[in-house]
Amino acid sequence: MPEFTLPTLLSALAVSALVASDYRRWRPGRYLFKPLAALAFLWLAWQLDAGQSAYGRWVLLGLCCCALGDLLLMPDREGSFIAGLAAFLCGHLAYGVAFAQLGDNYAALAAGALPVLALLAGTGRWLAPHVARHMQFPVALYILIISAMLLCACLSAGHPAAWWIIPGAFGFALSDLAVARQQFVHPEPRNGLWGTPLYFGSQMLLAASVAAV
């Protein structure tokens, strides 16, 4: 589809440049290429007329929240990180509302509950020794909201958009592990080598899901 071509090309180029910039610790590159990478998934949703359906509007809201989160996470300051966390939390909530509109596949929900709960418990146990006391509640709330979003994604199984939604939602959640490792566990450039492409690729999948609704 021609609507995909230019946003996908922009995403591929901007994400590649962002990964290289972060790996080399070249901060001007982060401030240039991260907004461009976020612009790519917003552009794709707009190209696909996201505003023309209730589902598309919720997805577009989620994408806007995530783009805001991307901007807030660019500075290496705790205040910016907390604000970014709040923006991404709102993004997860918006996605969950969008996904829940597309189906009621409770069999898929039951099948997805175990891996989602395992991810929730494993992430909480992994992070607990590394998170400062004042950050424990925000982080725990964020993990719970991610889990709810993933369960809502499972409900969409069987809908044509689920081919985009389910890998996009789970990819988004897994990419957050790279952010958590960078922020709380072991800051190093290698976290972005897999976390950054997974995150932006997942956002492109969620933006693309609008085309199937």
At 134-145, the pLDDT tens digits run 999 999 999 999
- Which residue is it, tokens 């609507």? 3
133 phi/psi in degrees, rounded to 5? -55, -45
Confidence category of residue 104, pLDDT binned at 50, 70, 90: confident
Residues 79-101 have pLDDT tens digits of: 899 999 999 999 999 999 999 99
Confidence category of residue 53, pLDDT binned at 50, 70, 90: very high
Q: How many domains does the chain have?
A: 1
Mean of the per-residue pLDDT values of the chain: 94
pLDDT for 76 equals 83
pLDDT for 202 equals 98
Amino acid at 4: F
User: Average pLDDT for residues 125-138, to the nearest whole number?
Assistant: 92
Amino acid at 108: A
Q: CB–CB of 29/18 below 8 Å?
A: yes
- Measure the CA–CA gap between 56 and 60, rounded to whole angstroms: 6
Which are the contacts of 191, defined by CB distance < 8 A and separation ≥ 6?
Answer: 178, 179, 181, 182
User: Average pLDDT for residues 193-203, to the nearest whole number?
Assistant: 97
Residues 174-186 have pLDDT tens digits of: 999 999 999 999 9
pLDDT for 77 equals 87
Residue 177 belongs to domain spanning: 2-212
- Measure the CA–CA gap between 195 and 181, rounded to whole angstroms: 10
User: Average pLDDT for residues 195-205, to the nearest whole number?
Assistant: 98
